[in-house]
Amino acid sequence: MIRFIAKRLGSGLVVLFVVSALTFFLLYVSSGSIARNILGDQATAEQVAMKEQELGLDQPLPVRYFSWVADALGGNLGASWFTSEPVANSLATRIPVTMTMVFAAMILIAVCAALIGVIAAVKRGWVDRVVQVGAIIGDSIPGFVIGVILVTILAIQLGLFPATSTISPEAGPEAWVYSMSLPVIALLVNGVTGGAQQIRSAVIKQLERDYVRTLRSRGIGEREILFRHVLRSAAPAGLTVLSLQLIGMLGGVVIIEQIFALPGMGPLAVTATGQSDLPVVMGVVMYTVVVVIVVNLLVDILNGWLNPKVRVS
């Protein structure tokens, strides 16, 4: 298991390095006119030249990349070209907001999707059909539309929740709960319906297998078969779906955070890419890659723990 984790970590680091290099070169190749962007449309040519020197844009690309890597290894991701705020600081204040939301949504998705999926697989009949129809509806409405609907009804008309985030240092934890409720619901609807579908088919597939018939013929109770054997075998499929959803959610969360004005990674990513604030864009890309690598690693470890066959392969 240790070797397995070490191997995965090693390949993760290689991916991180390759992605960072690719992103850096792609971004910086087109960064010629960034100085004028920063100064706006009333700046003179002399000002632009001054700014370019200030940002070190007159250095050759490879030199800039290696100095970026050297700094990054020391935990210094540079500073925003627009605000001079250290990128590491921006990330440190924003990652908690986004991750709180994503993990709250994931836990709820896992629980709800498993419950709904198992019930649909075991009961079949009308229950199953309701779940199927619900899944199609839930899948076809984008998260941000659900977000807008939730705000209109629950925040503006009924005043139960704040329309935009009230998270701030002076507000207590209840502000977090209130501010996060609607965005998390908006995030999880797609995930629950999609996840329930996958778990349902995985459980049905397992229930039709020979070993289940054998267990039943030995007089073992339905409940024990379901929870001890079937779910364990169906888990890898469910976990894989969950991990894919979590990674997909990193995109969805950007729009949701914009609508709810949550100070998370989304607005930072949107603003930074819109302005070509390259040090910040690099920081956002690094964070995304790290999340993807960690999630995949966790899924593999969990799968290995649930199903020894995976470890061998």
Partner 1 sequence: MKLGPKTAAAALALSASLALTGCGGAANSGPAAAAPTALTLGTIQDVRSWDPAQAHVGHVLQPYQAVYDTLILREPDGKLSPMLATAWKYNAGNTKLTLDLRSDVTFSDGAKFDAEAAKANMDHFKTANGPQMAQLASVKDVTVVDADTIDVNLTAPDPALEYSLSQAAGLMGSPKALGTEGIKTEPVGSGPYVMDKAASVKDSQTVFTARKDYWNKDLQKYQKLTFKVLTDLTARTNALVSGQVDATLLDPKNGKQAEGAKMKLAANEVDWQGLLLLDREGAKNPALANVKVRQAINYAFDRKTILDQVMLGQGTPTSQPFGKASGAWMEELENYYAYDPAKAKQLLKEAGFEKGVILEIPSVPGFETQISVITQQLADVGITLKVGAALTNTYTADIAAQKFTTIFFSLFQGQPTVAMDQIVSTKALYNPFKNKTPELEAKIAAVRNGGADAGKLAQEVNKYVVVQAWFAPLFRVNQMYYHNSKVNVTPQIQQAVPSIYNYSPAK
Phi, psi of 79 (to 5 degrees): -130, 150
**217 binds partner 1, rule: CB under 8 A:** no
Give the type of residue at 290: V
Distance separating alpha carbons of residues 71 and 79, to the nearest angstrom? 11
Distance separating alpha carbons of residues 57 and 217, to the nearest angstrom? 74
- E strand or H helix at 120: helix 87-123
Q: Which is nearer to partner 1, 51 or 64 (CB)?
A: 51
- 86 forms beta bridges with 79
Binding mask 221-260 for partner 1 (x = CB under 8 A): -------------------------------------xxx
CB of 305 to partner 1, least distance (A): 23
**44 binds partner 1, rule: CB under 8 A:** yes
Q: 274 burial class (0-12, 13-18, 19+ CB within 10 angstroms)?
A: exposed
Give the type of residue at 30: S
Binding mask 141-170 for partner 1 (x = CB under 8 A): x----x-xxxxxx-xxx-x--xxxxxxxxx
**42 binds partner 1, rule: CB under 8 A:** yes
CB of 307 to partner 1, least distance (A): 25
The dihedral built from the CA positions of residue 19, 285, 71 and 62, taken in this order, carries a sign that is positive
Give long-range contacts, CB 8 A cutoff, 24+ apart: 174-180.
Answer: 176/100, 179/260, 179/262, 180/100, 180/101, 180/104, 180/262
Q: Which stretch binds partner 1 (CB under 8 A): 27-35, 202-210, 232-240, 287-295?
A: 27-35
**76 binds partner 1, rule: CB under 8 A:** no
**178 binds partner 1, rule: CB under 8 A:** no
Angle at 146 (CA atoms; ends 143, 148), nearest 5 degrees: 110
Q: Which is nearer to partner 1, 40 or 75 (CB)?
A: 40
Residues interacting with partner 1, by CB under 8 A? 30, 32-34, 36-45, 47, 50-51, 54, 82-85, 90, 93, 108, 111-112, 115-116, 134, 137-138, 141, 146, 148-153, 155-157, 159, 162-170, 185, 188-189, 192-193, 258-261, 263, 267-268, 270-271, 274-276
